[in-house]
Structure 1
């Protein structure tokens, strides 16, 4: 009984809000010019699904987001590991990375357009740049937070550098790295929303901007819901990774 309640409880508030939203729309408290009813958004969803247009936009947006995540995440992870292990590397690179991190990456949009034009490269660059820093910081912090006594114990058992990293340092830092991944996923979707308003020809952002031109408020709201749903899905997948790779940790055992 408690298991069923724990699974259903998180959905109680969203479903209640959805029901109230529909009721207020039907009785005229909420005007369709201000916010379309959930039923209208549902009909728009069915229409876009039937002609395949919705799947196409979701695929294009997901492709952009994942490519930016892979590029930015890989760079952030590598710098986090190298700077976390090596004092020399930290001295050379960390200050520069921190200076770049303090520049709001979305403020670079005019410069990105001049560099890359309005094609896919600029959008992916912005996403990669936004994702890079949370993953870098959490990886760096995770490496530096590993208990030195565990490292000494590994050395006493004869573990070499590569073995020491894979068996002691990386598992000890993994919790922090995955937290960085979850932060990065949130920034990834926020950046994608803005990036897709830069003369895109496909994607959820393009769908919303095109609907705005024709005053199709139901599709605009649908686009917002799609971003929220994809963000929730990616966060859930990150939590699955946490329970998969940190099952040795008592805090992640079911």
Structure 2
């Protein structure tokens, strides 16, 4: 600021230069490049349309099914099944992870059994699941819940046990009751590990669901892919697979956003 004859000359505030955040688009550069190369390969005959439909055809099919409402119906059914399985299996895994992380006695009684269950491939149980639950929604819910259970359980228990003991002792020294100590010290310290387990569980959730929806389902993306395979509608089959990939990425992105907000106090997440 400069002055003339005792009067202050006002200077305009510096203008901010707005530049597009190319870093936000960078993760999508490789998938877009693959789609472009895929389209070019199909157009030039390097990739046969009988083996793999071109992206433009898949997009046109998706647009047609969206306009008719069929795609949203199958998407909604699959999302509801995935969410229900995540809530049931994740809730049980979270509760047992808390119990075994906080109590050595609970850990001695249940951890061996839970580790044995964890090491059984849950998709190998499909014949038994059909005998137990039939081919209805119960079988699909059980498989998804079992798939996500162990990941939530292990990471919750690991997070509880990884909390710095000195912080716990400090909380006790300040007179914190057990409930306040858990709420203000133990659970916040375990949240980073719990979110890691949740992100892994989301991937297993969609992987299990696409298999579970082949059990004589009448709706859902897995059913859509199986029905289209029988009629050799490869564009719908590939569309269903790509939608699973998109849903998985969307779920992971939403989890990372939630993780960044919940763990804003952590230096590792402060810049997110």
Q: TM-score, normalised by structure 2?
A: 0.92
More helix by share: 1
Residue 5 of structure 1, CA deviation: 2.2
Instruction: Show structure 1 runs of 5+ residues with no match.
Output: none
What residue number does 1:230 align with? 247
Matched, 1:103 2:120: yes
CA offsets 1:88-142 (integer angstroms, 9 cap, x no match): 0001100000011010000000000000000000000000001000000000000
CA offsets 1:127-169 (integer angstroms, 9 cap, x no match): 0001000000000000000000000110111110110000000
Question: 1:67-82 to 2 correspondence within 5 Å?
Answer: 67-82=84-99
Residue 38 of structure 1, CA deviation: 0.6
Matched, 1:165 2:182: yes
Residue 27 of structure 1, CA deviation: 1.5
What residue number does 2:104 align with? 87
Matched, 1:11 2:28: yes
Q: How many residues align?
A: 254
Matched, 1:118 2:170: no
Distance of 2:159 and 2:126 partners within structure 1: 31
What residue number does 1:141 align with? 158
Distance of 1:3 and 1:153 partners within structure 2: 46
If you compute each CA radius of gyration, which structure gives the higher value, 1 or 2?
Answer: 2
Q: Which of 202, 205, 225 is the aligned partner of 2:222? A: 205
What residue number does 2:261 align with? 244
Q: CA RMSD in A?
A: 1.0
Following TM superposition, the consecutive aligned residue runs of length 4 or more in structure 1 with deviations greater than 6 angstroms are none
Distance of 1:160 and 1:88 partners within structure 2: 21
Q: Which of 176, 187, 209 is the aligned partner of 2:193? A: 176
Matched, 1:46 2:86: no
Residue 3 of structure 1, CA deviation: 6.5
- Partner of 1:118, secondary structure, is coil
Q: TM-score, normalised by structure 1?
A: 0.98
CA offsets 1:3-59 (integer angstroms, 9 cap, x no match): 712112111111111111111111111110010011110111011111100000000
Matched, 1:151 2:168: yes
Q: Which of 31, 44, 50 is the aligned partner of 1:33? A: 50
Residue 180 of structure 1, CA deviation: 0.4
Distance of 1:213 and 1:146 partners within structure 2: 53
